[in-house]
Structure 1
Amino acid sequence: MAANAEKNNNKPAKQGGKGGQPLVIAKTLAEEQRLKLERLMRNPDKLAPIPDRQKEWTPRAPPEFVRDVMGSSAGAGSGEFHVYRHLRRREYQRQDFLDKMSAKQKKEQAYLDKVEQNKLDAAERTAKRRKKREKLKQKKLMAKKAKQDSKADEEAESSSSHSEEEKEQEEEKEADDDAEVPSFIMGKK
């Protein structure tokens, strides 16, 4: 029997956790964080648990039917006042939450309205500028047509009465006129 007791005493103490890891109790938050990181780094292939985002706090819905209607008036028992106080606090929290939510919704709606208005204004400015560009193109086309018509008339008159030297001078003028004119000079002929 003594031999059995010696065998039990010689056995190593049972270690806590899986894989023969000694049980370590963290005493500080830094130590707790270090232990968590060590546990994650033991198996780097395993995905790290990422907690879900906490849901926004919402108050409890008001009761549909209140059975014991009470107030803080005299005649109520001493224990009833605390119940009334908690109910009142909960109702004030609920009303405050509703006020904050309505203010938040108003801000979001105002923002969406402003974005929509900005889009409309931008579209209006773009349309106005497009119209202006089209007008300038039309003016250039009309000026070019008028210039070609006047040249054609001059050529018809000059071909019958002018000599070869005059024709060469006119061709040089046409080459100068055909050179690209800056867009800010509109009325030049």
Structure 2
Amino acid sequence: MCDKESTSDLKSKGKQFRQNDYSDNPLVLPKSVAEKQRLQIDKLMRHPEKPVYIPDRPKDRKSREPPEFVRDVMGSSAGAGSGEFHVYRGYRRREYGRQMYIQNKAEQEEQAKDFQKKLEENKSKAEEKTTKKRNKRMKKKQKMFERKKQKLEGAEGNECEMNTEEVKEQDLSETGDNDDAEENCFLIGGR
């Protein structure tokens, strides 16, 4: 009776009590990293409707600015108490932390500049490649049109020359990047 009363109390308070949660899953100690990951995934997949908490990246903490005026400065020999060394040590630690923050910030900015420079170089190289290939495609099309023009001149005469010139002008005005444009450019005479 005690168990039934405690479960009804839990249910009445709005908490869910699942009897099978702990009886079906005995305690398993992972022996490797892969097994630990598998257990975590199994735990997540037991309740797929439950949202997963993903923490934000830790933010860089900016150190305090150096004090403009340092009070209670003691010399190294006369009148320095036993606690002054610890005060000095705190100042020194904060200053080293501030200098490290400045150095890390400068390194990150330098890396960001290098990365942007590398992106620009890659972009310009890719653009050069595409223009070179585009020119090559256009030359190939031009040669093909010249061959077709020669064949048509021999067979039909002046009527076909006008149609091929119109098609050439249309092809030269297009960039040649679209597949549809490449398929349509081989129409001669509208037939």
> Looking at both structures, which has the greater relative contact order when contacts are Cα pairs under 8 Å and sequence separation is at least 6?
2
Of structures 1 and 2, the larger Rg is shown by 1
